[in-house]
Amino acid sequence: MAKDTFFQIKTFLNIGGKILDLSTPKVMGILNITPDSFFESSRVQTEKDILAQAENMLSEGADILDLGAYSSRPGATDISVADEKERLLPAVKLVVKHFPNAIISVDTFRASIAKEAVENGAHIINDISGGNLDTEMFNTVGKLGVPYILMHMKGTPQTMTDLTHYDDLMGELNLYFSQKIALLKQAGVKDIVLDLGFGFAKNGAQNFTLLKHLADFRTLGFPILAGLSRKGMIYKTLGISAEEALNGTTVLNTMAVLNGASILRVHDVKEAKEVIKLIGMMN
């Protein structure tokens, strides 16, 4: 795990008055309440499936559960606020009821949904758009007083594959995060996590460049979330399917932790926890 000498990185999140210590990396398990997320095995739609997936991930050591109801895979179908809310909020309530001690993140770029989710027990907002798809998001999160995951993406899930040109990839992302962090602080957001947005308006080579230089973004002073699990940068590079990409995911999660990632967002919790434990033995 990356050691930092010249700058201070925030190593905790305030979760409803309780401290989540990030000095040891944490694992966020993905629950997709969608019919069309890119990894079929991650989709859960019935109450039974949602509870079973949540229980399994928590038993394997998940520190956070990330619930999302809007598929953000490239070219995914756009759905209405009402449809997203109809899928997501009952799932949040269900998990809160059955697992009251679980830390719940909601994967949404819509401020109204973020607000209702937190009011129903969610603890973290995970926004793929960095506030670009809803101008009310930053102020909403500031008022809610919850941690915010700030991701980099250009365009929308429907257009991002055509927006992979950068004159200076590292420079543009650094500028993006610096500007967004300033706006979030103005809105009163205190706990920020950075997500480079692997696969979101980036091609394969760009994804690997960002992973190689992930530690550079720690100079911004905030923990980094790495969302690499079973993505195209793995299965397309290896000529396999997402279903076959667990081994590749473990390799890249290892690189992410070694380069300073504080949170791994994954479909496979047990394997990610093993990565963190084994790397921890070298410290």
- Catalytic choice (231, 236, 270, 277): 231
Catalytic (active site) residue 265: yes
Closest listed residue to residue 262, CA positions, set 209, 203, 220, 204: 220
In angstroms, the CA 154 to CA 262 distance is: 24
> How many CB atoms sit inside 10 A of residue 71's CB?
20
- Catalytic choice (85, 110, 115, 265): 265
Active site residues: 231, 265
